Amino acid sequence: MHLMTKVPRIGIDCRFAHTNSGLGRYTHELVTHLLMRNDPIEYVLFVRSMDDSWSREVMHLHTERCSLITASFPHYSLSEQLFFPRVIKKASLDLFFSPHFNVPFLCPVPFVVTIHDLILHRYPNQALFFKRWIYRCVIGHAIKRARRIIAVSAFTQNEVRTFYGEKVAAKTTVVHEGVDAAFSARSSLEQEKVCSKYAIHKPFFLYIGNAKEHKNVQMLIDAFLDARIGNSLILVTGGKEVDTLHIPSDASIHVVTNVRDEDLPALYCAAQCFVTASLYEGFCLPAVEAIACGCPVIAFNTGAIPEIIGKHAVLVEPQFHALVHALRTPPPRVSACRLYDWDRTAEATVKVLQSAF
């Protein structure tokens, strides 16, 4: 490691920051909190557009030691591979940080990457062979060439060790995600207002997440039907996988899409319980958000879930009848508890970035 004689210039891929996704949440929260610190670092943020709300907020609030560059290349695209390296090189960076694994093959500067999980190693999710091959190439390149790797859980770090070896795991640091302070107890009036907005009626169980193979949403639906309880099941989800779910027309199961982030805390607070049958999680942010709002959680004892929420949830074996029993005997309401925060995540991330020089 050599000593920097000037303020280091670090570029961050923020192209996900404006999206309503887990990666979007991680990127915009982490980067926002990095910019709130007073570290001797000059940041260059690569964004899809200068016109999205998050980019405009950054330009207004964080002008010192921060600049934005448009990089409108779609993720996982040929243009990303061919042209993004030129933009990175032109920015005269000392280090590039990608909050996701898709670093261009010809990245011209040293880089740090965050690995959230290795889901597609375990659950291809019906992806075509060519797509799986490209994924393996891109993530393998990022993991092997990165100066440092951030894993969002010890579980993910161990997955990296399993697939890529001890040498790679040795340069990996566990830095948990955070939970925004907005996820907290909300008044009955706000709960009623948000529930009315989405035509949701109490009492209800709540699931938030996508419906990909590893999320095991169909088992959750089937277990809910088998439990024969008096409330409803609200699935806040989206994507093409939703069309493959089998939901009887007369069941008290409702799919809700396009829920705004600011409405999520009230939904967690209004729910009788947050439930997930996911078989694989690198962190499981929705469960952590639920706990921060005082919403009880039922989840499978798999992946990173025991590590991340442990004693703060009812964890059951990944079996159909265990889930049915848990739904029939849901846990009582709990006190709001914010287990993680983005300030600590940002502090730990800065240490990793500085160690990469």
Q: CATH code at 280?
A: 3.40.50.2000
Does 183 fall in a domain? no
Same domain for 41 and 103, yes or no, is yes
Does 194 fall in a domain? yes
d(CA 318, CA 179): 26
Same domain for 167 and 215, yes or no, is no
Which own/partner pairs from 343-346 qualify as long-range (CB within 8 Å, at least 24 positions apart)? 343/33, 343/178, 344/176, 344/178, 345/29, 345/30, 345/33, 345/175, 345/176, 345/177, 345/178, 346/30, 346/33, 346/34, 346/36, 346/37, 346/178
d(CA 285, CA 67): 29
pLDDT at 3: 53
Does 4 fall in a domain? no
Whether 63 shows a pLDDT value over 80: the answer reads: no
Does 126 fall in a domain? yes
Whether 18 shows a pLDDT value over 90: the answer reads: no
Same domain for 55 and 22, yes or no, is yes
Whether 215 shows a pLDDT value over 70: the answer reads: yes
Does 208 fall in a domain? yes
Whether 28 shows a pLDDT value over 60: the answer reads: yes
pLDDT at 310: 93
Same domain for 132 and 227, yes or no, is no
Sequence-separated (6 or more) residues with CB below 8 Å from residue 35: 43, 58, 61, 62, 66
Same domain for 302 and 196, yes or no, is yes
Does 333 fall in a domain? no
Number of domains present in the structure of the chain: 2
Same domain for 201 and 169, yes or no, is no
Q: Which domain holds residue 92?
A: 9-178+341-355
pLDDT in tens, 259-272: 999 999 999 999 99
pLDDT in tens, 160-200: 999 999 999 999 999 999 999 999 999 999 999 999 999 99
Same domain for 141 and 28, yes or no, is yes
Does 291 fall in a domain? yes
The pTM (predicted TM-score) of the whole model is: 0.93
Same domain for 349 and 251, yes or no, is no
Same domain for 257 and 318, yes or no, is yes
Same domain for 168 and 257, yes or no, is no
pLDDT at 64: 73
